[in-house]
Structure 1
Amino acid sequence: MSVLKVSNLTKEFGKFRALDGVNLEVKKGEVFGFIGPNGAGKSTTIRILLGILKATEGQAQIFGRDVWTDAVEIHKKIAYVPGDVNLWPNLTGGEVIDLFVKLRGGNNKQRREELIQRFDLDPSKKCRTYSKGNRQKVALVAAFTSDADLYILDEPTSGLDPLMEHVFQECVMEAKQAGKSVLLSSHILSEVEKLCDRVGIIRQGKIIETGSLSELRHLTRTNLLVETKNPITGLQELHGVHEVEKKEQALSFQVDTEELDAVIKHISQFNIVKLESAPPTLEDLFMRHYEGKEQAESGAGGRS
């Protein structure tokens, strides 16, 4: 069942096309990672979903309702955390949390207190005294205290230290286990990799890949470190082998996942002493994909 569905979404600012036929779907109980470089169209998409911007063309629905015409109803069941939180300077953090929770019709004081402790937030301080990280904490506590069905998180851990990032990740997994849905826009690839069931990669206003992490692994290479009794020959002539380097007694190289079987068979004839394999990461996928696109478009004036 779809909680959020975007079909052929286009947004133009004058002659500039910020979004060009974007398609997205977030299912019930799913954490969907929305990734791409700065200027790719992530925040523009999210502003349309929140009813802040009107799409030029296409459709966007949350809970089966149109995001522009039914924005007020939709907002009763969603929680949003931006990457740079602005708060009322004369209110305390606790007052802001209470205000946001009341707006969504909630009043779970036990959950509020638990999250304030977990995020190590002092709710009695005025918001004007908060650092960027503490402003993010206020927004995150307010979001996860609310009984929302969909969490829209746009770079939510910006300014948080690693310990607080871990608390955030726990909160996302708790929301998922409770059957809630999450749209997570992030450039922290390790965060996306830990949390997300599926990922959509956006570039220059277009979705260029969507799928589960296992489905997207075909774009990546496995890192291998191999030591053999006899010197390996013919490695660089094999299909799918890249960046071969000698490291003391071993060879380090990358292998396209689909060629891994053939490469292992080849090196096994040289009597393997040690074999270390590092699985491909989302970062490998991301960088390889974009590097390839950049090279293809160099000189074409493409905007990244």
Structure 2
Amino acid sequence: MTVLKTKGITKRFGKFQALDGIDMDVQLGEIYGFIGPNGAGKSTTIRILLGIIKATSGKAEIFGKDTWKKAVSIHQHIAYVPGDVNIWPNLTGGEVIDLFLKLRGDKNTAKREALIRRFDLDPTKKCRTYSKGNLQKVALIAALASDADLFILDEPTSGLDPLMEHVFQECVLELKEASKSILLSSHILSEVEQLCDRVGIIRRGKIIESGTLREMRHLTRSQIYVETKQSITGLDSFQGVHNLTERDAGISFQADSDALDPLMQHISQFGVIKLESAPPTLEDLFMRHYQQQEQSTPATGGITHG
């Protein structure tokens, strides 16, 4: 079941094209990672999904409803966490959480209390005294304590320490187990890689790649280190081998996925003593796309919208 869907979304700010044909979908019980450099269009897309701004063209739907025309009814079933939290400075953290839950009609105080303990938040302090990390905790607890069906999380761990990031990840996986859907926009690639079922990479207002990590990893390279009984020859001209360097008692290089089988057959002839292979990461994939785009696209000036 499709919970969120965009088709051909564009957005112009004057002459500036912020979004250029965004196609995206999030399924029931899925965690979808939405990543890209600053100014790529992530936040603009999210504002359209929240009904804050109207798309110039295209269609955006949540629960089968138009996000601009039916924003009020949609918001009854979604929870949103921004990366830059601004809340009432004279209210306590607990009062802010209660206010948001009351606005939604949620009355699960046990869940609220459990999350406050897990995130180690003192709810009695005024929000003006909180650090950025504690403000982020207030927003996260208010969202996670709700009974929403779709969670839109825009840089949700901004300001959190590593321990709290781990708590957040546990909570997101629990939401998935409860068949909730999550759109996660993040610049922490390891977080996206660990949590997400599918990933969409956006750059300059376009989705340049999307799919499961398994589907996307054929586009990147594994890091390989090998030591052999005899010196390996022929690797410098071997198709699919990159960044060949000598390291310690062996050779280190990157290899394209489709070159691994013939490459291993070639290396085995020299008597393998030690072989280490690190699988390609989402960061490798993201940086490779970014570099390819930089090489193929001339730099342009102008205003950027995140």
> Under a length normalisation based on structure 2, what TM-score does the superposition of the two structures give?
0.98
Partner of 2:222 in structure 1? 222
Structure-1 residue corresponding to 2:172: 172
> For 1:218, what is the secondary structure of its paired residue?
helix
1:120: which partner in 2? 120
The CA deviation string for residues 75-103 of structure 1, in whole angstroms up to 9 with x for no partner, is 00000000010010110000000011111
How many residue pairs get aligned? The number is 303
Report Cα offsets for 1:234-254 as digits up to 9, x if no partner.
001111100011012110000
What per-residue deviation string (whole Å, max 9, x for no partner) do you get for residues 82-129 of structure 1? 001001011000000001111111011110000000000000000000
SS across alignment from 1:100: helix
Match of 1:11? 11
What CA distance in whole angstroms lies between the structure 2 residues aligned with 1:216 and 1:302?
30
Partner of 1:284: 284
- TM-score when scaled to structure 1? 0.98
Q: CA deviation at 1:302?
A: 7.3
Contact 1:17 1:205 in 2 (8 A): yes
Match of 1:91 in 2: 91
Going from structure 1 to structure 2, the CA distance change for 1:58 and 1:139 (only over 3 Å counts) comes to same
In structure 1, the residue corresponding to 2:32 is in which secondary structure?
strand
Q: Measure the CA separation in 2 of the matches of 1:294 and 1:15.
A: 22
Distance in 2 between residues matched to 1:31 and 1:189, nearest whole Å: 14
The gaps in structure 1 that reach 5 residues or longer are none
AA in 1 matched with 2:147 = D
Amino acid at match of 1:214: R
Distance 1:282 1:120 in 2: 30
Structure 2 unaligned blocks of 5 or more: none
Q: SS at the partner of 1:236?
A: helix
CA drift at 1:301: 2.8
Counterparts of 1:114 and 1:256 in 2: how far apart (Å)?
Answer: 46
| Cα distance in structure 2, aligned partners of 1:301 and 1:52 | 28
Moved over 3 A (4+): none
- Report the equivalent of 1:31: 31
Q: RMSD over aligned Cα, in angstroms?
A: 1.0
By how many angstroms is 1:300 displaced? 4.8
CA distance in 2, matches of 1:244, 1:127: 53
Q: Paired residue for 2:245?
A: 245
Which AA in structure 2 matches 1:166?
H
- Structure 2 match to 1:274: 274
Give the corresponding residue for 1:184: 184
Write the letter of the residue equivalent to 2:285: L
Q: Secondary structure at the match of 2:258?
A: helix
Partners of 2:175 and 2:60 lie apart in 1 by 23
- Residue identity matched to 2:46: I
Match of 1:109 in 2: 109
Instruction: Give 3-state SS (helix, strand or coil) of 1:106's partner.
Output: coil
**How many angstroms apart in 1 are the aligned matches of 2:17 and 2:45?**
12
2:69 maps to 69
% identical equivalent positions: 70
User: Does residue 160 of structure 1 match 2:142?
Assistant: no
Whole-Å separation in 1 of the counterparts to 2:235 and 2:104: 61
CA–CA distance in structure 2, aligned partners of residues 109 and 291 of structure 1: 48
